[in-house]
Chain A
């Protein structure tokens, strides 16, 4: 059996002399998974994923990438396998043109010639940035800079793509377009770890959800089960999805036949119509 892409074993971490930010976290990320990492501010989400490519080193425990301890290599050496998109696009943008920006990481991996052209053009094409290839990325608007940053990490063609709050500051439509590009890569086999506060996006894209609370894993399981557990989410400081609220209220009011794991508005509408048509009337 192939080893997991990332294996986190009894991980403890603290910043300087502060209290532990992670307390005995263990989990595995396998190839091709889409994992949403959820939790309120300060729960340890970013701290956890920064261990996946060695940006942070364990205080106790260990993190293995394809069976190799992250402490045994420099961060840059993991870039072939793991790409990390920070919250702010301006943390990575420095080149004179969008094309050069996207080519930066593949070049560091030794990619050149036709293969470099292919990677960069594929990433620009996926994000609709072909026409902006020669523009200085720093001069673009925020939404486009976010796209450039995503194109830059997609061109790394990693086995695991870590996205830290990638839709912050984007309108709902742009956020969805953004994650559709990631979903396309995911369908081609790239594993995705998505840190987000947007439970609806997590419900729509992630197959698995890891819920963090005070540096510990409060839940790790199918996204549908974790996101549908209102009590669990509230305990971790998150507000359940409106659909979960509404479905719960309707069931309490007597509408039989509504499933307990509804997350998305479309699912809710379909289930409601079916339940109402099946004789489950409100107020029964």
Chain B
């Protein structure tokens, strides 16, 4: 049972201070937002595969991340290719407002890769940072501890609720539920799946709040922390290097 995304390993990216990983994630997000060239976007996505793999994140985890991503990627590619070509000088095919041409295809490819890159940027953070580090890092950046804990737990519970969604789906299908292909009818058919998921989420939150309160969370005015964060030279180098590379690439290539 996978309770969170973190992959336990003593590897180079794992060893960065969580604040460094936040900074690097921010750099990847800025890069993904600014890059307009599909090849450069592809290179960024490739980098976001090489980094986790070189930090001992198993390929199966990367494949698992692609499973929900590929349908989204496909939808963006198809819709973008057909709808973003309006007004373009060169088109391969046109029917009223709908057209396909090199410009719309390249734009759709870039956008699809951008979404994938963003997903992998955040996945890299969660694969390599355990929950305690996430909380400590966010708290050191000035966020109240309760807010850091809430944010970290929300992120870590995503796969848990993914698993529960699968179990509910299995149970309702066993009762005869068939999800129709028509999207409008499908949305209604999903109610027997979504309602138990929401009820389970509320129950989980309630139990979690009680468990935290029972362990004294919020009782002390000052908290101590076993985890002492320390920025090392490697952290500074990674942040500085990442920033410089991003600036140079963006400025030099006009991407």
Partners in one complex: yes
Give A contacts to B, CB under 8 Å: 16-17, 50, 53, 55, 74-80, 82-84, 86, 88, 90-94, 104-105, 108-109, 138, 152-153, 156
Q: Are B174 and A79 in contact (CB under 8 A)?
A: yes
- Can you give 5 contacting A-B residue pairs, CB < 8 Å? A55-B170, A75-B170, A83-B174, A84-B171, A108-B177
Minimum CB–CB distance for A99 against chain B, Å: 15
CA distance A93 to B168 in the complex (A): 9
Chain A residues closer than 8 Å to B175, beta-carbon distance? 76, 79, 83, 92, 104-105, 108, 152-153, 156
Query: In the complex, which residue of chain A has the Cβ closest to the Cβ of B193?
Result: A94
Q: Are A156 and B195 in contact (CB under 8 A)?
A: no
Q: Are A138 and B178 in contact (CB under 8 A)?
A: no
Known: A75-B173, A104-B192. 19 other contacts (CB 8 A): A17-B60, A55-B174, A74-B178, A75-B174, A76-B174, A79-B176, A80-B176, A83-B174, A86-B167, A90-B196, A91-B168, A92-B171, A92-B172, A92-B175, A93-B196, A94-B191, A108-B175, A108-B177, A152-B175
Let me know if B203 is at the binding interface, CB within 8 A.
yes
CA distance A55 to B167 in the complex (A): 10
Secondary structure at the B interface, as helix, strand, loop or mixed, is helix
CA distance A118 to B64 in the complex (A): 46
If A76-B177, A105-B175 touch, whether A94 touches B192 (CB-CB below 8 Å) is yes
Q: Are B60 and A138 in contact (CB under 8 A)?
A: no
Partner of A77, one of B64, B178, B191, B196: B178
If A92-B168, A94-B192 touch, whether A53 touches B174 (CB-CB below 8 Å) is yes
Residues of B within 8 Å of A, CB-based: how many?
Answer: 23
Q: Are B174 and A17 in contact (CB under 8 A)?
A: no
Query: In the complex, which residue of chain A has the Cβ closest to the Cβ of B194?
Result: A94
How does the 8 Å CB contact mask read for B140-182 relative to A, with 1 for contact and 0 for none?
0000000000000000000000001001101111111110000
Residue from B170, B174, B199, B203 having most chain A Cβ neighbours under 10 A: B174
Q: Are A91 and B64 in contact (CB under 8 A)?
A: no
Query: In the complex, which residue of chain A has the Cβ closest to the Cβ of B177?
Result: A76
CA distance A109 to B174 in the complex (A): 12
Chain B residues closer than 8 Å to A77, beta-carbon distance? 176, 178
Q: Are B168 and A105 in contact (CB under 8 A)?
A: no
CA distance A104 to B173 in the complex (A): 12
Residue from A82, A94, A138 having most chain B Cβ neighbours under 10 A: A94
Q: Are A108 and B176 in contact (CB under 8 A)?
A: yes
Per CB-CB distance, the 4 closest pairs between chain A and chain B, nearest first, are A79-B176, A108-B176, A94-B195, A84-B174
Let me know if B54 is at the binding interface, CB within 8 A.
no
CA distance A93 to B202 in the complex (A): 14
